[in-house]
Structure 1
Amino acid sequence: MEEQRTRRSPLWGGPEWWRHGPPGWWNRQGDQARGARLPWPSTFVLTAFVLIGSQFAAQAQEGDRALLDPFARVLLLVGSGVLLWRQRYPVFVVFVTAAAAMLYLGAGYAYGPVFFTVAVGCFSAVVAGHRRAAWIAVGMLWTGHVLIAHWLYRWLPPSGDGPSAWGQEVVVATWVVAIVAVSELVRVRREQWARERAERAQGARRRADEERLRIARELHDVLAHSISVINVQAGVGLALLDSDPEQARTALTTIKAASKEALGEVRQVLDTLRAPGEAPRAPAPGLDRLPELVDQAASAGLTVEVLGAAPDLVPGTDLAAFRIVQEALTNVVRHSGSRHARVLVDQAAGALRLRIDDDGPATGEDAGGSGNGLAGMRERAAALGGTIEAGPRADGGFRVLAVLPLKLKEDR
């Protein structure tokens, strides 16, 4: 119960932050509005305008309304000076300005810019999200004005004053509604701007996450393939270093070539981080480099048979198809006991089909891949609107089947 009393205002039934404005666009980054600099210049200008304007109004209404005295000037100073805290305590400010204006009118002083302070206080409360408080404050002011103008005037200064015309109350009510309506319009627009900013920020974060995922996937595919070839060739070199130095030299040459290619592709990926949005310095790999994959697999002891011709695909689809075949062959080298694999490239019904088979058996529990590679292949395919099916074949071995939308360069 104690916690509930501290969290809710006993007077208005609202949350404790009713004095400071709601979280969101008004209180950017938590309590920033509370720690913001007070609006001294605008408040000074408003105060000067109210004091000078009220003096002229009193002279113009001399004889009908009471002249300004020290008490009137104090009320004007309070009503306008409190606007200095209109951003930190909008509800408090709107009620103080309304109360000061009501006392000012009840004392019989001249009509004038005193209503302007209430308008500014109401505007600040509404745009800060405290619509109910603003409506109550201006409603109390209008009700008080009606009572003073049509009933309490008999006992209030100036002496001999008569009731006001009801048409004047309609004008006052119209101005009140207009002020609140403009305030509501500004509040709605600012909330729309805040939502748009949040959506843009969320979109930027999503694009950044997608770019990080793309780079991580690209690095995984490049390094997993190259390091697998290097690992196999290093084992061959070590085994044959003494018995067959020439074959060991060949293995080292393969390691050098694979590492050089991997460094080049990693450098190309990292260049996109240093200069995002720039065109790549080297063309992205595609299915036209299938012969290189076959040669690299052969250097790792895997014979690859390629069936079908690679179509002339658009760069995005071409890169995805190449990486899928590369990752599938890497998994065969790393996780399969088979030394023979088949790659089928086929196109039919507006789709590109890539099928990679090996005859097994698996050399570990993670046959077909450790999971990251398969996940990366599925992400690449899904990004293009395609699918990946991967799993053991009924007759033994493992199969990866990718179906991608067929997008040829000539169709662009």
Structure 2
Amino acid sequence: MVLFQVLGPLEVRGRDGVTGRPAGGKPATVLAVLLVQPNAWVAVDRLIENTWQEQDAPASAEANLKTYMWQLRRLLPEYDGGPRIEGRAGAYRLRVGPGELDADHAEALAREARAALADAPGRAFTLVKQALQLWRGRPFEGLDIVADEAVERLGELHRRLRETLADAQLGLGRTGDAVTTLQSLAADDPLREDVWARLMRAQHTLGRPAQALTTFHRARRVLAAELGVRPGPELMKALRSVHGAAAPERPRRELPRAVEPLLGRDRELAALDRALTGSAPVAVVSGPAGAGKTALAVSAAHRVSERFTDGQFFVDLHGGEVTVAAALDRLLRGIGFPPALIPSDVDERAALWRSELAGRRVLLVFDDAADLAQVASLLPATGPSAALVTTRARDFSLTGARAVRLDRAPAPLERVA
């Protein structure tokens, strides 16, 4: 039988069998502090600190505390034939039996529901609904006590119960109800990627892939605005599993045939080797038309290609004719995203590309870039990928990139750009 209810305003079932809120502010505060750690000894100093938070404790604080304990002992039923509240030098404890505290009862129901979920979703659904009905508001609502950890723990329990509810609803084929439950969870705690991922999968199960894609982009915007981060592995995995956007079975190998031997470029090739295998592997090869930029870039890319097991891309930007949106569309298709699921907004498309690239080892060659603006959104922001850019622009500057400047090709064999 539940005697103590803390999942909302504090209520107690007294000796007379009537459940209600304890009369008097300070005795109720003392009882709440004891209930934060049931069956544990709570120091008198902590009880005094919570009871007189807004003012200095009076000299009679310990005497007053004894009075409050006497009042509570009169209110509460006995425990196993003895006093409900026990005292010793410098501390008190409240004896609470199994099932007498609503928070403990909710925890037991949560465990039982999770255990039943796989084989008996109907029973899990019933148990989790019983547990959720124990909540009447914020734990310890209306009482000013130092119990942040306890309130957070109970809040986490409530979240787990709602997640179990969604799982049970899915197990019972009530997918629409599961989507509603998960949407509520995402609204209450929008920084939890696992909830967004589960919502996407539920929407997909319901036959709503467009909604699942909208959910992904909403989560991405929230994470970027609140935490300054991109979607993590769990959310990206949900996107791929929901929309069938797994990487192709055979990674792309798009590098053109290399010019061999490439005469007179040993120093430049060595510089590009170091750049493309370094900690921030981005390199820029600049020079006039006919200087052999493409030949050098392709040759350098072939020399390190085996390090980039998730593919090698060659994108001819045609001196500015290819738009950023078109290049991103081409690259996202190349790693396996269905065309219909690629965002139309260029910024969202770029964010999706960076997120996907962060978990891959890809080599990118962007040939004949007009300026930095044409390639800035295409470059890897982090992770093991590398990029090599060729350009005719003399003022092309990219922070952190290795720059190689070419004059005219030293031999006709190099003139492929």
Alignment TM-score, normalising by the size of structure 1: 0.28
- Choose 1 or 2 for highest CA Rg: 1
Higher relative helix content? 1
| Larger RCO (CA under 8 A, 6+ residues apart) | 2
Alignment TM-score, normalising by the size of structure 2: 0.28
